[in-house]
Chains A and B, each alone.
Chain A
């Protein structure tokens, strides 16, 4: 019994331990690693994944998953570059948010109206949306307007704008999840949708809304990412769902619903980015990046599986006090 609690504590701390190990290793191997500038750089680079991981957290909390976010990213980048480039920034941002909302709502419709498993719906829309975007771009590189590129390089009080956006999204995400009735109801739906239905919670509406939120976050992530890079190739956003899910799960959000939060997801994103940063610093074979990324997700999912199993065992009803 105490063994279980200890194991649970270790599993909960596993991402932190991993982060510590990576930081220590990298700072020993490279002088430039442990600096404020480099850390700012890492967070700046992690910002798109972190924002999307916040959206993914909402979806995972109701036991869903969204595999289509990478394709939504690419579609947003293509539409921004091809059709929105001449427009005022406010209009561009509004359009970007709307695109995210629309595709989130498409996923949500299939999931809540027709009761199809989220992973299969979003696997299908992953291909459909990418097909659509590839059709629009003709698989050619799509460049962004100067306004967007300037924005990608700008900073406020020495902090890159991407980090400000991340901070704002994180604050909103935290307030919504922990301080509003809607947020608490999301947790209830994730713990037991049938019971939530019986308790009079509008389960379908909530599930619908979290997929919309995830779509919007994917669009914001695309906006940040594309402004940082300045252009989008045909593989932009390809398989981006992996680091995003990994970030959320490494941050303590469960794939089994009902558990998790915003700040963990940001931590997870930073952890994922630090790893990639480290691989670059170590001049690792670029072919190995996806292998390392896969290992990290695998670890996250393994930790989550163990953690859920042990928590269930601990919460199982005890008859005797020993």
Chain B
């Protein structure tokens, strides 16, 4: 048994009387990578926020290298040697790489005044960047770096602080595949140098490849603590969900009507974003778009929905050309768009379920003087829809969507678009950050939709999801289509190769 760096014992934490963590205990060995797994809301983030000093525990102990610690804020945790690399990077675009790395521990010149020693700063930054294999000049503004390199800067930052433990929270969500690969290599190297790492991810394949041990959380409790060698993805999934899911994707018949085109793109291009995108989406078809983050897939969706401009090409819906530049026009043509940013763009978090569901359909439901909305009529509509998509909540016109779980929030977003009776539904990462049970319900809704003749454009980072759901998959890379695959030719590796093809 190697020695233990971090030891967490009987951690409890509640928010306003709701117990979020119950007696959570686990150890992180020196020189090991620990995978922390669980559905959203299982308590992963809370646990890590306690360790990282962002929240304070109600009871329990945290020991680092044998000494009890109680970090009161992120700064304390850093001083103790705990680095927390958040999903959203905390780099500042208006500062240079070196300033970002040393932002809270600048090397100072000798003397009474706290002046930055620019020469030492340059030297130390160069060293730190070398540790993560980044050859960018330290004086480059961060705004000029690609996403993957920014993450490396973040790691370099942790290393200069002599971190003993690095926590990665979903580090790969915004990385391209080569960038992820580079990240994994660095994590491997850090491990071999004796660094301990906690790795949080939804991508179980990565976890299996990278981690030594795993801890599975469910409803704020530790369900399993196992070496990776003794478990499997299926076993982890069933531990996460609490029941085993035999079939992740519901069965569905093929409804595709290839003779007609619901959505058709011809040579759509926008400099710097996408080039020459052409395809036809048929009624009753699910067209998957695969590609890595930053391949232009979400940007394409935004262009179709009129949120972003395009310089050349043509978009038509049901054979009629779509005027560019306004979501309203796209909606009137029958397009609906579930964005990948649920909290920022999908929902009005402070408003009720009914208000959110009704939002895009308001003009349609209004009548008479000054677009009057009959309260009873619209509430009934919203209620009917929320029942149809199985939103579970105490009250549809009093409960704010903020209070719902991720899965229920996503069902509200889907419901609000279904109420507009869309003919083309663009779904950008429809199952991101929602639990397995809710995923299954989302898939069922999609199937129902296409069964009724609508067309679905489904963007996803999870290839398995597209393979399970789509009739056809378009692979994108660097803003260009890299090939179309029909259902018969779905092959994980071939799809992956196309996405990586340069």
Pair A179/B74 contact, Cβ less than 8 Å:
no
Residue of A nearest to B104 (CB): A200
Query: Which residues in window 176-208 of A have CB below 8 A to B?
Result: 179-182, 184-185, 187-188, 190-192, 195-202
Pair A320/B296 contact, Cβ less than 8 Å:
yes
Pair A185/B104 contact, Cβ less than 8 Å:
yes
Cα distance, A185 to B105, chains bound together (Å):
11
Pair A319/B295 contact, Cβ less than 8 Å:
yes
**Separation in Å of the B113 CB from the closest CB of chain A?**
8
| In the complex, A175 has a CB within 8 A of chain B | yes
* CB neighbours of A198 from chain B (8 A): 54, 74, 84, 86, 90
Report the interface size for chain B: residues with CB under 8 A from the other chain.
Answer: 39
Q: Contact check: which of A175, A200, A258, A318 meets B272 at CB < 8 Å?
A: A318
Pair B114/A315 contact, Cβ less than 8 Å:
no
Pair B275/A320 contact, Cβ less than 8 Å:
yes
| In the complex, A31 has a CB within 8 A of chain B | no
* CB neighbours of B92 from chain A (8 A): 187-188, 191-192, 195-196, 258
Cα distance, A259 to B143, chains bound together (Å):
13
* CB neighbours of A259 from chain B (8 A): 94
Cα distance, A202 to B106, chains bound together (Å):
15
Pair A317/B104 contact, Cβ less than 8 Å:
no
**Separation in Å of the A127 CB from the closest CB of chain B?**
31
Instruction: Annotate A199-237 by CB proximity to B: 1 below 8 A, 0 otherwise.
Output: 111100000000000000000000000000000000000
**Contact of A319 with B115 at beta-carbon distance under 8 Å, contacts A191-B95, A195-B91, A197-B74 already known:** no
**Contact of A319 with B106 at beta-carbon distance under 8 Å, contacts A181-B114, A187-B92 already known:** no
Pair B103/A199 contact, Cβ less than 8 Å:
yes
**Separation in Å of the A207 CB from the closest CB of chain B?**
16
Residue of B nearest to A197 (CB): B74
* CB neighbours of A185 from chain B (8 A): 103-104
Residue of A nearest to B117 (CB): A179
Q: Contact check: which of A188, A196, A199, A319 meets B296 at CB < 8 Å?
A: A319
Cα distance, A199 to B154, chains bound together (Å):
10
* CB neighbours of A1 from chain B (8 A): 271-272
**Separation in Å of the B376 CB from the closest CB of chain A?**
38
**Separation in Å of the A203 CB from the closest CB of chain B?**
11
**Contact of A191 with B93 at beta-carbon distance under 8 Å, contacts A319-B296, A319-B478 already known:** yes
Cα distance, A61 to B75, chains bound together (Å):
23
| In the complex, B273 has a CB within 8 A of chain A | yes
Residue of A nearest to B107 (CB): A181
| In the complex, B173 has a CB within 8 A of chain A | no
Cα distance, A185 to B272, chains bound together (Å):
33
**Separation in Å of the A305 CB from the closest CB of chain B?**
17
Pair B88/A187 contact, Cβ less than 8 Å:
no
* CB neighbours of A319 from chain B (8 A): 272-274, 294-296, 299, 478-479
Residue of B nearest to A260 (CB): B94
**Contact of A317 with B294 at beta-carbon distance under 8 Å, contacts A180-B115, A200-B73 already known:** yes
Chain A interface size, under 10 / 10 to 19 / 20 to 34 / 35 or more? 20 to 34
**In the complex, which of the residues B84, B90, B91 has the most CB atoms of chain A within 10 Å of its own CB atom?**
B90
**Separation in Å of the A227 CB from the closest CB of chain B?**
29
**Separation in Å of the B232 CB from the closest CB of chain A?**
35
Instruction: Annotate B263-279 by CB proximity to A: 1 below 8 A, 0 otherwise.
Output: 00000000111110000
| In the complex, A285 has a CB within 8 A of chain B | no
Cα distance, A202 to B299, chains bound together (Å):
36
Pair A320/B103 contact, Cβ less than 8 Å:
no
**Separation in Å of the B97 CB from the closest CB of chain A?**
13
* CB neighbours of B409 from chain A (8 A): none
**In the complex, which of the residues B88, B90, B94, B114 has the most CB atoms of chain A within 10 Å of its own CB atom?**
B94
* CB neighbours of B480 from chain A (8 A): 320
**Separation in Å of the A187 CB from the closest CB of chain B?**
6
Query: Which residues in window 471-502 of B have CB below 8 A to A?
Result: 478-480
* CB neighbours of B73 from chain A (8 A): 200
**Separation in Å of the A75 CB from the closest CB of chain B?**
32
Q: Contact check: which of B86, B104, B273, B275 meets A318 at CB < 8 Å?
A: B273
| In the complex, B78 has a CB within 8 A of chain A | yes
Residue of A nearest to B154 (CB): A199
**Separation in Å of the B311 CB from the closest CB of chain A?**
10
Pair A184/B272 contact, Cβ less than 8 Å:
no
Pair B271/A322 contact, Cβ less than 8 Å:
yes
* CB neighbours of A182 from chain B (8 A): 114
Residue of A nearest to B105 (CB): A181
Q: Contact check: which of A179, A187, A199 meets B116 at CB < 8 Å?
A: A179
* CB neighbours of A188 from chain B (8 A): 92, 94-95, 103
| In the complex, B461 has a CB within 8 A of chain A | no
Pair A201/B114 contact, Cβ less than 8 Å:
no
* CB neighbours of B274 from chain A (8 A): 319-320
Pair A191/B272 contact, Cβ less than 8 Å:
no
* CB neighbours of A317 from chain B (8 A): 146-147, 294
* CB neighbours of A181 from chain B (8 A): 103-104, 106, 108, 114, 116
Pair A199/B115 contact, Cβ less than 8 Å:
no
Query: Which residues in window 439-486 of B have CB below 8 A to A?
Result: 478-480
Residue of A nearest to B295 (CB): A319
| In the complex, B99 has a CB within 8 A of chain A | yes
* CB neighbours of A321 from chain B (8 A): 272
Pair A184/B106 contact, Cβ less than 8 Å:
yes
Pair B74/A199 contact, Cβ less than 8 Å:
yes
* CB neighbours of B95 from chain A (8 A): 184, 187-188, 191
Q: A201-B104, A317-B294 are in contact. List 6 more A-B contacts (CB 8 A).
A: A181-B104, A181-B114, A187-B92, A258-B94, A320-B478, A320-B479
6 example contacts (A-B, Cβ-Cβ < 8 A) are as follows: A179-B116, A182-B114, A187-B95, A191-B92, A197-B74, A321-B272
For the complex of A and B, the 6 pairs showing the least CB-CB separation, nearest first, are A200-B75, A195-B90, A181-B106, A320-B479, A319-B479, A318-B272
